[in-house]
Amino acid sequence: MDGPGFWGLPAGLLLLLLLPPPPRALAEGPLVFVAVVFRHGDRAPLASYPTDPHKEAATTLWPRGRGQLTGEGVRQQLELGRFLRGRYEAFLSAEYRREEVLPLLRFPTRSCPRYHELLREATEAAEYQTALEGWTDFLTQLENYTGLSLVGEPLRRAWKVLDTLMCQQAHGLPLPSWASPNVLRTLAQISALDIGAHVGPPRAAEKAQLTGGILLDAILANFSRVQRLGLPLKMVMYSAHDSTLLALQGALGLYDGHTPPYAACLGFEFRRRLGDPDEDAGNVTISLFYRNDSTGLPLPLSLPGCPGACPLGRFRQLTAPARPPAHGVPCHGPPEPATPAGDGHWHWGGSEGGRRSRDSHSRVLPAATVVPLLAGAVVVLGVLSTGLGLLAWRPSCLRAWGGPV
């Protein structure tokens, strides 16, 4: 028990009073820059399969065409637009301006055999092969049901079957009798295995440098350029596919095993701290949020190793292994022409399966080239902007490589 101190105060309390006060946490200041990456809304299936009972009625069921937004998808994008308008009113133009919207490109992994090598290493791992072998009987049976050849290279085609079934189910269409909840669950597990091979170990950081790390680096580079040149830009939006968001989550170390739902939105908010004597990057923090449910508030996220609002310098340090190095990302072979992609399940891989591209010629993509190659084609910015009005940026670094998507 503490003995008596001066003025009748306990000695322990007196000691606390004599200690210097802890450093005051700096107050979060004004929002100075925002980057958001969002997935498009509900869409029609990308493809069908030979025995699909709804195949002949596709033009009636999906009048805008395969892979295109449905009425529900339009509503989701408008709702997302209203959310962003309410959150960033001061950063957005009052009306939609066509010249403020930039189309973007996918990751350059089609032309990067090094990425295919990393992916092949993941798919040849014992854990991956064991899981795949456990589904051999299931895939053989699924072949009989769908008329597709699945055994041998099942993942991409199995995902397309899942995508078709899930889109049809979401729109109240009856599924074939064989498409039980257990079948859908197994197809989702197969899809998750494929996603893990693309964004997870082994060599997750190196894979991120060739996928989500490119977009992450571009977001940081855009902020730095705006600050350095005193540009009026306050907000950049990237319309993306599920694969884009998954890759970005992987680069941030935030992939949780779930595919982003339609209209999911990952946000980066840059704030200037008040009372910080450092006028450089040290007085800026980055806060992350994830909006995966339009009925609730966005979820705050923390970068692993930096809880809460993360100082910009610390954020750069922690994400450095997943971002392209300054000297460029090592890739081999000349770039292939870019081709359009739908929701794309893993279009990074190039051809079906995406694991066979090889070239003996060594090539390094310099950082100045890598950073501009952003992910995701603009899908519905016109629709989204009806709800919010867009303010995007048309910098010289965001050039199309290999033609528009």
Instruction: State the catalytic residues.
Output: 40, 242
- CA-based nearest residue to 107, from 321, 385, 346: 346
- Rounded to the nearest 10 degrees, the angle between the axes of helix 71-87 and helix 381-388 is 50
Q: How far apart are CA 383 and CA 389, in angstroms?
A: 10
CB 254 within 8 A of CB 301: yes
Q: How far apart are CA 399 and CA 374, in angstroms?
A: 9
Q: Is 68 helix (H, G, I), strand (E, B) or coil?
A: coil
- Rounded to the nearest 10 degrees, the angle between the axes of helix 126-134 and helix 136-146 is 50
CB 85 within 8 A of CB 386: no
H runs (alpha helix) in 19-135: 58-61, 71-87, 113-123, 126-134
- Phi, psi angle pair for 272, to nearest 5°: -95, 125
